[in-house]
Amino acid sequence: MVTFLSSSDILSVSSLHKKELPGFLSKLGEYFLTEFYKTSLGIPSVFTLVYKKDGEIAGFATGVETSRGLLGTFFRENPMGMGSALCFAVLTSPKLIFDIFKTLAYPGFGHDHAELLSISVDSKYQRKGIGKELFEETIKEFKKRKINSFKVSIYDGMSANSFYKKMGCKLDSSFSFMGSKMNYYSFKI
């Protein structure tokens, strides 16, 4: 069953994010992720869909109407919470400060397009159609918001590139991000 993220799902979603998604947000740790998803509930242009199986979160997908200035949007919505979570992450692992500055160079933050920020299914439930259902529900949600295309970026070499191609995404471009190659796909609704 797919529903919208609620406050009671946040710890499970943050923990699943950290477990399955290797990107920058995971490096900032579960405390930061918890604050990130909590804050997202107050931002109308951001939505997270969760897939529940027997009361457990088996997967989730997060979409944004525009990725332009996204980090600023989160910090403006919840300066205390996001600020203290970031400080905690940096104090725990000071070298993260370099990654934080590099993250600001993410090309999406300068573009006015809708984006599927992340999609993740718990490894024990993968290859059972849950990712596809979350992807399809994300399309429906974007459509309700009058959005007719969205983008998604992923590290080159991750097997989920094949998932996006299966879902009908087309490769737009590639770029270098924090020393790794990333691919930008787009999906027309």
Ligand X SMILES: CC(C)(COP(=O)(O)OP(=O)(O)OC[C@H]1O[C@@H](n2cnc3c(N)ncnc32)[C@H](O)[C@@H]1OP(=O)(O)O)[C@@H](O)C(=O)NCCC(=O)NCCS
Residue 35 or 115 having the CB closest to ligand X: 115
For the CB of residue 167, give the shortest distance to ligand X in the complex, in Å: 7
For the CB of residue 94, give the shortest distance to ligand X in the complex, in Å: 27
Residue 56 or 87 having the CB closest to ligand X: 56
For the CB of residue 87, give the shortest distance to ligand X in the complex, in Å: 26
SS3 content of the chain, % helix, strand, coil (to 5): 45, 30, 25
Residue 132 or 145 having the CB closest to ligand X: 132
Contact residues toward ligand X (CB under 6 A) are: 20-21, 118-121, 126-132, 154, 158-160, 162-163, 166
For the CB of residue 125, give the shortest distance to ligand X in the complex, in Å: 7
Q: Provide CB contacts within 8 A for 48, sequence distance 6+.
A: 4, 5, 13, 37, 40, 60, 61, 62, 63
Task: Give the C-alpha separation, 35 to 74, whole Å.
Answer: 10
* H helix or E strand, kind and range, residue 38: helix 30-40
Task: Give the C-alpha separation, 62 to 120, whole Å.
Answer: 9
Residue 92 or 172 having the CB closest to ligand X: 172
